[in-house]
């Protein structure tokens, strides 16, 4: 597998690097992506599940879908791509990891600072009064837990379609995209906004943009370098070369 010299040279000169990850980074951990043929959306319609309307019209179904996903995540562990990205955190003066993923595998792999644009699936809060919920979520026949304060339905801390992204996370992600020398977009179909606008924002601000994705995306043609490899292969190789040429 060949990593172009131009990328290595850019990285050796870079003091500010930013990475945006999507579901593809967790694919090699056994977590299905959203839009791949066998993906999570294949069986369901996202608007039905990952949306406020979906939850309001069928809270039990949405809750069960998330519980199924939490089960898959609990059985999965970070893959070499996550560990390589965690390694990169200490290789540059400024390093920002921005993720659309809700599985927290970056944190499990050792990444300390992670901007979670779409929240996380492991924490929950009350849909009605918004209070954090730390009670039991594993109820018999996957019953949907109720808020002890107001009796409202409990939901995961993920950002649904039509919901605002966490303001600080999005703000810091945009600042990183504007300031970085090299921007990686890894394992994302670049379809969900505003996350999908970050690679172009980085490039317009002078960053060298690398896409790591075995398939083509709407961004592939614009990337300065497109590595058509799984992230679990490409990222460890980039880190190996950088350490070797230190």
Catalytic residues: 118
Compare residues 24 and 78 and give the one whose CB is closer to ligand BV8. Answer: 24
Encoded tokens for 90: 């200490």
CA atoms within 13 A on the CB side of 98: 29
Binding to ligand BV8, residues 86-125 (CB under 6 A): 100-102, 118
Question: Considering the rule CB under 5 A, would residue 129 count as an interface residue with Zn ion?
Answer: yes
Residues 140-159 that bind Zn ion (CB under 5 A): 147, 149-150, 152
Distance of CA 221 to the CA centre of its chain: 22
Rounded Cα gap, residues 224 and 6, in angstroms: 10
- Choose the one of Zn ion, ligand BV8, none that binds residue 147, judging by a C-beta under 5 to 8 angstroms depending on kind: Zn ion
182 near 6, Cβ under 8 Å?
Answer: no
163-192 residues in contact with ligand BV8 (CB under 6 A) are 163-165, 187-189, 191-192
Q: Which is nearer to Zn ion, 42 or 150 (CB)?
A: 150
Stretch that binds ligand BV8, among 53-61, 125-133, 168-176, 214-222 (CB under 6 A): 214-222
Number of helices followed by number of strands (H, E) in the chain:
10, 9
Options 8, 16, 39, 76; binder of ligand BV8; rule CB under 6 A: 39
| Residue 97 DSSP SS3 | strand
């Amino acid at each position: 597998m060949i990593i172009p010299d131009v990328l290595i040279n850019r990285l050796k000169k870079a003091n500010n690097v930013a990475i945006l990850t999507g579901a593809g980074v967790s694919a090699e951990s056994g977590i299905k992506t959203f839009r791949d043929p066998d993906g999570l959306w294949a069986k369901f319609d996202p608007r039905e599940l990952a949306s406020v309307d979906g939850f309001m019209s069928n809270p039990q179904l949405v809750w069960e879908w998330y519980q199924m996903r939490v089960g898959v995540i609990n059985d999965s562990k970070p893959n070499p791509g996550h560990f390589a990205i965690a390694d990169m955190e200490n290789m540059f003066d400024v390093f920002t990891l921005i993720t659309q993923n809700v599985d927290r595998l970056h944190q499990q792999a050792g990444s300390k600072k992670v901007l979670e644009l779409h929240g996380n699936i492991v924490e929950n809060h009350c849909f009605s009064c918004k209070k954090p919920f730390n009670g039991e979520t594993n109820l018999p026949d996957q019953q949907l837990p109720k808020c002890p304060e107001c009796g409202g339905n409990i939901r995961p801390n993920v950002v649904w379609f039509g919901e605002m992204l966490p303001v600080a996370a999005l703000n810091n992600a945009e600042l990183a995209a504007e300031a970085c020398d090299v921007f990686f977009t890894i394992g994302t179909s670049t379809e969900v906004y505003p996350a999908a606008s970050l690679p172009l924002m980085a490039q317009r601000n002078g960053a060298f943009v690398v896409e790591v994705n075995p398939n083509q995306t709407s961004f592939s043609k614009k990337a300065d370098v497109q590595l058509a490899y799984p992230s679990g292969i490409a990222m460890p190789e980039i880190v190996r070369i950088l350490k070797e040429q230190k």
